[in-house]
Structure 1
Amino acid sequence: MLLVKDVFKSYATAQGPLTVLRGVDLQLGQKESLALMGESGSGKSTLLHLVAGLDQPDAGTIEVEGRRLETLSEAQLAHWRRTEIGLVFQQFNLIGSLKVEDNLAFQARLAGRLTPQWQAELIERLGLGSLLKRYPEQLSGGQQQRVAIGRALASRPKLLLADEPTGNLDENTSDEVLQLLLDLLADSPTSLLMVTHSPRIAARLGRQAVLHLGRLAAEGER
């Protein structure tokens, strides 16, 4: 599903180039889940953004389902993001002017994959049935993140990328939201790459990898 090979990434600073990733190699199979851990500044979010095609590596290759991202035009990348991946962030990024039901359907409509049966199942399993007519500002943090997860999964993406998706939630709500996400993924072909700082959260996923000083320091399986 995902192959990251010898990826380097630097950013320009006033003090000169800052190398964030130094030859990262990573693999993720279909239906696998991988937690990417590491201290602040280790390159976790940078790697996730590269995998999402939101930025380009300086060197190395990123391949998703045999498709090398650096060979795609901006238009092709935009279409690929709409149709093949789902994104969930720490900031919920819901559209404030849209009701919950429209936020949920937004990504699937863009992808041309709005399926009423799957939409209804997501609403039921995420416990959103009574909230469909509300706006994001009328929801708790946990409710907003459930909507964000439903929106990301509504188009049945091949790959779900999550950047600290429970970072703004208390521990109990975090556990509840993560369990809902893992339950939904268990019934789909979607693979999950999640950035997290929490060993407790990481332990719930199938594999764990640690970035340290821009390199993959360790990886394990449950």
Structure 2
Amino acid sequence: MAGHLRQPPVSVSMEAVVQTALDRGYTAQGEMFSAGDMALLAEEVTGWRAELLSGGMRGDNTKAVLKHLVDGQPVLIPYDEDFNHEPCQRNGHRAHWAVASGVLLGLDQGSVCREHTQPDPTLPWLLLPQDSPSHPFPTAGIREAYILAKQGKSLRYQLWSLDKVSESNAQLRDIDPHRAGDGTQYMLPKGGVEAGLAGQVVLLHNGGQTQ
């Protein structure tokens, strides 16, 4: 899904993604419990430069994630997926990955520079960034934030509260006990699910490989 966001889009089959992950030892059954391994895999199969962001999605990391999305670049986020694909809190028992590719910010009136925005044709109160190499990011006046995200099994994009995504991402601690006891081998990083996923996201940059 992230590859399709490149210009021009990068088309890579799911079979190729899984086979690359198997060949590199990142997965055994298609699972991906390490954000670090996901970053390496994403670089190899999409050509994006991957940056691993740790320490949760709060504080300074909130601004980093939002600015990345405002600049039109995707973020890979591990979270617990509810039955409607939205974020929930299940201690990591329903851990999945989503691709975030956009952001909707609720801002105080007057906090946006009109020079760099244009009103939506049908919703004049909705301001869209003008096409530019780097959209100016509002540093103040943000009251709420939603991200435009999609999970692989979902048929459509959804708007998720950034707070709920952050809470779900932070509490990824354990593998589902049913999976842990089913006799199937899974690739778990040292320290388990919590060490591999909790409080971590992958920022994908349109450019070359990591130095």
TM-score, with length taken from structure 1 = 0.26
Name the TM-score, length of structure 2 as normaliser: 0.27
Normalized per residue, which structure has more helix? 1
